[in-house]
Structure 1
Amino acid sequence: MTNKHLTIGTLSRMTATKVETIRFYEKSGLLAKPARTEGNYRSYAPADLNRLSFIRRARDLGFSLDQIRVLLDLADDRSRSCEAVDEIAKEHLAEVERKIADLKALQRELDRLLSQCRCGTVAECRIIETLSPLPLEVN
């Protein structure tokens, strides 16, 4: 496949990325504008497949588009120190750890609320009461 060019549909299927998302990545500069066929269809090279796969994997891991943009720029210059890559990864790890802490706090709160459930009526439900900033009016 080294000399084969890919259509946007093929690229989409190979990376499990919606066509609209691929176009968005092009517009935002994460993917280069592809070559065009004589019929004006997009024509992608294997390098585009690799780049899109990188973007997809980074998005799956929760990296922001701005972080991905910087990572791609760094990856394009293979001779650079990876110190900047490490900094982005450390920043992202800190964000992941904050989210985990938030989710654990949520888990504890939900456990607490569920332990108070007496399986009565909704009018007596502690979960509904906790979620409601003001008492719900009954009509």
Structure 2
Amino acid sequence: MTTQSDPQTISVELADENGAYTLAATVNQLKRHQEAGLFGLKLVGLYAQLTITVDGEKAETQFLSRLVDESHWIIDDRFGANGFPFWAHGFGARYLRCHAIHPELADGLDVLARERGLAAAIGRDVPLALADA
């Protein structure tokens, strides 16, 4: 299992109908992970824990997963700045409504996964293939 103790931050400049803003994610944890799923399935992929800020204001904490052969990072658990859960599904839960992270933020996570030797193939619309452990 590969992890990195020093958090890294991914920042992206975005714009919507209300103007421009900066979305920053501190990557507190990024690692290879596996656990048992429903009906005897084995969930294998990447796990990430992010602290998200918008224009410097702490907005929330998100726990993400990207399973082998998936093309997107999915938010498994999402907590507000006050710790209140928006939802908590658990690693790799795909039997509930899935929410993907912003594509620009996903690009940054993909780069970190490659740099840390966790993924052999990963990217926008590129199915995850884990690097040899």
Larger helix proportion of the pair:
1
TM-score, reference length from structure 2: 0.20
* Structure possessing the higher relative contact order (Cα contacts under 8 Å, 6 or more residues apart): 2
TM-score, reference length from structure 1: 0.20
| Structure with max Cα Rg | 1
Larger strand proportion of the pair:
2
